[in-house]
Structure 1
């Protein structure tokens, strides 16, 4: 009888050991698969970033980019071109005149002068 009790206890301890190891393995597998999913996502993001950098590199190797940079940063021009500089800090010229000689003239007369001045040759 004691032999059966000892054997049953050994079997129970063995089963508990197996269940514990099986649970531990399942947790490790779940954790590893979750980590693999995260790494797959990271790989996808890095591939997209890599492709974007490759496209940018290809664009920067084009003549169009080189010309644009030479014009904007080095302020170079092609032969035969002229440069027009616009001062963005200046106020608009239209409507800022100090004296308007047409203040005394009616609106209809101003329109008539404008239209008739365009017809003169």
Structure 2
């Protein structure tokens, strides 16, 4: 009877140790997943901010004043009656 009792106690201890091991491993996995979720949420927030900035640029590019500014800068266009001033600061 004592051998059987010792065997049962040993088996019980092994099962408890196994359960603790599995529980610990799951906790580590959960912690890693939560960390990844936090990283992805931060990335989403950054992308939303970038998207907002780009959307503002798109909206601005549709305005007449922006188109006029680009025409003046890139194409060197001037309005009738204006005098063109060339700034040669590049040396």
Q: Which protein has the larger Cα radius of gyration, Structure 1 or Structure 2?
A: 1
What RMSD, in angstroms, separates the aligned Cα atoms of the two structures? 1.5
Equivalent residue, structure 2, for 1:83: 83
Equivalent residue, structure 2, for 1:8: 9
TM-score normalized with structure 1 length: 0.67
Equivalent residue, structure 1, for 2:73: 72
Higher helix share: 2
Shift of 1:5: 0.8
Structure 2: unaligned runs, 5 residues or longer: none
Matches within 5 A, 1:42-53: 42-53=43-54
TM-score normalized with structure 2 length: 0.87
Contact between 2:78 and 2:84, CA under 8 Å: does it hold in 1?
A: no
Contact between 2:72 and 2:78, CA under 8 Å: does it hold in 1?
A: yes
